[in-house]
Amino acid sequence: MSTNGTVLGDGLAAPERVLGPRTPALTLTAALLGFALICLDASVVNVALPAIGDSLGSGMSGLQWVVDAYTLAFASLMLSTGAFSDRAGASRAYVLGTIVFTLASVACGLAPNLPTLIGARVVQGVAAAAVLPASLALVRQAYVDPARRARAVALWAAGGSVAVALGPVLGGVLTTAWDWRGIFFVNVPVGVVILVLLVRAPRSERRPAPLDLPGQVTAVLALTGVAFAVIEGGVEGWVALAVAVVAAVVFFRVEARSPHPVVPLDLFRSRTVTAAVAAGAAVSVAFYSLVFVFSLFFQQVQGRSALYAGLLFLPMTGLIAVTNVVAGKLAGRYGPRLPMLVGQALAVVGLLVLLYVDAGTSSGLVAVLLVPMALGCALTVPPLTAAMMDAVPAERAGLAAGVLNAARQVAGGLGIAAFGALVADGFVGGMRVSLAVSAGLLTVTFALSCRLGGRSAS
């Protein structure tokens, strides 16, 4: 798909001037490994959740925070880290992000209790938000020729898709053969390899880039407040919701007046941008949230092992990268609307079919029934990304991509919070409500996508 978002950040702006000898292959390898690593951490944890719960004595809300602490920190800070990458220089931002991510992974693996693990996951998310735009900026600056650069960016994006696909399987293997802590310790050697490769990578020039700190802070408060309200509930939940509402109001007022907003509200005057962001968010709710739910379903409801559960996701995740390529070609030939509509329709049908799944349904059959939903989501994302990029001026492409991918990550995180709360009150019933909600959201975005132009995304 890449279900994690394939294009992001201010790295899409004009390439940086490179200082020092050019080593494009090393730079691409380092950037690809880092992007794959942060994408892997968004999906590898799901299958290990029951083991984490047993080890640290956590209930459903704690498991939701293990996932959402990373996702929400990653998503909300994604709005500003492109500008941070420009100000610090992409190579410096990438080194700093990789070091912090690696150390936070060690802290996750050594965590003696749930609060420590969740705190370390937040730090991982902050570091991942710095790594992502810097990695793309490094790829862009390493390849001057547009054709070679396009191939390099495609490889970079494919690395993320492969990581998402392998995440559940690798999580199951490590949890079964080692321990849930292994899913975090495996990041350490990869981080070391990245840093070694970066020794010979070119250094990036710093560029002035404005930061909208009030907008960023209020965005974090609003998103965290909503997630806390959904996951925790009770009096504290209502207080958190009130804080989120106030923060959201302040956020929109700040963004409307800021000369350099993290989310330019005028982008949404374009119906193409609105449809693309809405469809991207709906796809993320369906994909990320249901991987979370079915990871628990296979193990807690059907009693499967972590390894078996991870392998059950292989049919759906293994086809994602191939479908991404097909979707991109279809968008190039027919325009973005047709593959977007086909993808969303296929995902809705897949979700409705899954409504018939219960505790007694064969695990193998469930694995097969997950495929249409995943393929529909994978078919939708590249065209909607292309549609949004075509709908904005070239100088705003990086900003628009950051908004799109932040919206997708936020939607996935909030979907996990909401669906986790639903299944906590009765797993199969809550799972069916989650499926119905996802299908409803995609039906709405299907209708929005119908209003797009045929071959043109404008």
For the stretch 12-63, pLDDT in tens is 433 334 434 457 778 888 888 888 888 888 778 888 888 898 888 878 888 8
Residues 336 and 352 placed together within one structural domain of the fold? yes
User: Which tokens go with 308?
Assistant: 């078996």
User: Which tokens go with 166?
Assistant: 């392998």
* Average pLDDT of the chain to the nearest whole number: 81
Residues 183 and 162 placed together within one structural domain of the fold? yes
Residue where a domain stops, chosen among 170, 205, 240: 205
Residues 391 and 245 placed together within one structural domain of the fold? no
| Average pLDDT for 381-386 | 81
1 found inside a domain: no
Residues 318 and 453 placed together within one structural domain of the fold? yes
Confidence band for 11, pLDDT divided at 50, 70 and 90: very low
Confidence band for 204, pLDDT divided at 50, 70 and 90: low
Residues 70 and 216 placed together within one structural domain of the fold? no
150 pLDDT more than 80: no
Residues 120 and 238 placed together within one structural domain of the fold? no
2 found inside a domain: no
Residue where a domain stops, chosen among 159, 181, 205: 205
CB 142 within 8 A of CB 152: yes
Rounded to 5 degrees, what angle do the CA atoms 407, 410, 412 make? 110
Residues 166 and 54 placed together within one structural domain of the fold? yes
**Which domain range does residue 415 map to?**
264-458
Total domains in the fold of the chain: 3
Residues 316 and 364 placed together within one structural domain of the fold? yes
Q: Report the CATH number at residue 63.
A: 1.20.1250.20
Percent of the chain, pLDDT > 70? 86
Residues 355 and 386 placed together within one structural domain of the fold? yes
